[in-house]
């Protein structure tokens, strides 16, 4: 067991799959010789060589299109889009091409690829390099969408994504790259569509994703020590497939639901989960589910502004405490 960073977990996850399977190839902007702008691909070029780890031009459509053509014909590509905001530049592939080719062809064609990207805020990059785009992707039939919060999950879920026969959007949180976690030696393979109870509790369920997971855990720990409120924190990990079983099970236990989303409030994934819980577990609830989100605004650059936009442990604590005490 060693403690490694989320960033190193990305490198280890990619390397694990490339070492296992020669059909796994990797492409993106600045990913090979330069080792990635977030240094999340350092050493892969040296380890796997120029045929398997390839620098591309700044051509997001070409990157995702080429990944798709390679996937359709026998490779298992991992494509990097540097910042998830750039999905908008190549969204045809994400919305129209990857997810629909199997259906339109009545099952003839396949698209087993992974798109990795740096997602989320916290780096003071402003509105076009800081978005959380999971909601853009979640609503498209045919895609899978994963967002890990810890190094061990990065490796395991990346392996699961690479081995998955469907196109998977793999959202790495930029602000988590330097964070650390314990990771065992040897191969790690997780399962898509599984949420994880990262902190058990009795009084309320807090659902969170990616950067919001450590913030929810911090809030839960402080709620316990400062107010005696015992919250269960569930790391959703995978939006599609969604582990409704774990979520509904947690709500059945705690009877209260809070979702913590790092994205504009409108049409966020939390709304979908709240809707599922209202449909299927309404009588388990002792109070209305509460969504904690960013406001419906673009992300500001200034640290003082960005900090108040994103849900913080304090905001999560206040919301849970006031809701439970009302």
Q: Which of 41, 101, 205, 263 binds another protein (CB under 8 A)?
A: 101
165 is a site residue for another protein (CB under 8 A): yes
> Which residue number, 63 or 121, has a Cβ lying nearer to another protein?
63
Lookup result for tokens 């390099």: 129
Q: Give the dihedral sign, CA 248/192/84/312.
A: positive
Prior bond of 91 cis (ω within 30°): no
Other CB atoms within 10 A of residue 107 CB: 8
> Which residue number, 212 or 236, has a Cβ lying nearer to another protein?
236
The phi, psi pair for 297, rounded to 5°, reads -135, 155
Lookup result for tokens 């582990």: 243
Lookup result for tokens 């819980």: 277
- Dist. CA 252–CA 315, nearest whole Å: 24
Q: Which residues are CB-contacts of 11 (< 8 A; sequence separation ≥ 6)?
A: 40, 41, 42, 43, 44
Query: In the complex, what is the shortest distance from the CB of residue 35 to another protein, in angstroms, rounded to a whole number?
Result: 20
70 is a site residue for another protein (CB under 8 A): yes
166 is a site residue for another protein (CB under 8 A): yes
59 is a site residue for another protein (CB under 8 A): yes
Yes or no: say if 146 and 162 are a contact pair by the CB < 8 Å rule: no
186 is a site residue for another protein (CB under 8 A): no
The phi, psi pair for 158, rounded to 5°, reads -65, -40
**Count of residues that bind another protein according to CB under 8 A:** 52
126 is a site residue for another protein (CB under 8 A): no
Q: Which of 7, 12, 102, 173 binds another protein (CB under 8 A)?
A: 102
240 is a site residue for another protein (CB under 8 A): yes
Yes or no: say if 224 and 252 are a contact pair by the CB < 8 Å rule: no
94 is a site residue for another protein (CB under 8 A): no
Q: Which of 83, 93, 136, 177 binds another protein (CB under 8 A)?
A: 93
Query: In the complex, what is the shortest distance from the CB of residue 242 to another protein, in angstroms, rounded to a whole number?
Result: 4
> Which residue number, 47 or 96, has a Cβ lying nearer to another protein?
96
Q: Which residues of this chain interact with another protein, rule CB under 8 A?
A: 25, 51-52, 54, 56-57, 59, 61-75, 77, 92-93, 96-97, 101-110, 112, 141-142, 144, 164-166, 193, 240-245, 276
């Amino acid at each position: 067991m060693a403690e490694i960073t989320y960033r190193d977990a990305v490198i280890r996850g990619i390397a694990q799959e490339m070492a296992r399977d020669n059909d796994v190839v990797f492409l993106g902007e600045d990913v090979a010789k330069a080792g990635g702008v977030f240094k999340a691909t350092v050493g892969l070029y040296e380890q796997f060589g120029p045929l398997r780890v390839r620098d591309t031009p700044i051509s997001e459509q070409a990157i995702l299109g080429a990944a798709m053509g390679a996937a359709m014909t026998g490779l298992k590509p991992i494509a990097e889009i540097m910042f998830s905001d750039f999905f908008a530049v190549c969204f045809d592939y994400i919305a129209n091409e990857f997810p629909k080719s199997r259906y339109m062809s009545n099952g003839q064609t396949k698209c087993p690829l992974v798109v990795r990207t740096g997602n989320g805020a916290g780096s003071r990059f402003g509105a076009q390099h800081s978005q959380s785009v999971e909601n853009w992707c979640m609503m498209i039939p045919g895609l899978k969408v994963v967002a890990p919060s810890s190094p061990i999950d990065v490796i395991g879920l990346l392996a699961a994504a690479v081995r998955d026969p469907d196109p998977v959007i793999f959202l790495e949180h930029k602000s988590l790259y330097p964070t650390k976690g314990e990771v065992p030696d040897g191969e790690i393979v997780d399962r898509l569509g599984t949420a994880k109870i990262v902190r058990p509790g009795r009084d309320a369920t807090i659902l969170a994703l990616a950067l919001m997971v450590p913030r929810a855990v911090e809030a839960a720990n402080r709620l316990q020590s400062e107010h005696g409120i015992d919250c269960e924190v569930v790391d959703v990990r995978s939006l599609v497939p969604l582990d409704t079983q774990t979520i509904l099970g947690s709500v059945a236990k705690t009877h209260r639901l809070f979702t913590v989303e790092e994205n504009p409030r409108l049409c966020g994934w939390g709304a979908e989960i709240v809707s599922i819980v209202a449909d299927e577990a309404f009588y388990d609830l002792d109070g209305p589910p509460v969504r904690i989100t960013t406001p419906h605004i673009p992300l500001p650059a200034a640290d003082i502004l960005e900090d108040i936009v994103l849900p913080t442990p304090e905001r999560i604590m206040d919301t849970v405490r006031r809701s439970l005490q009302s």
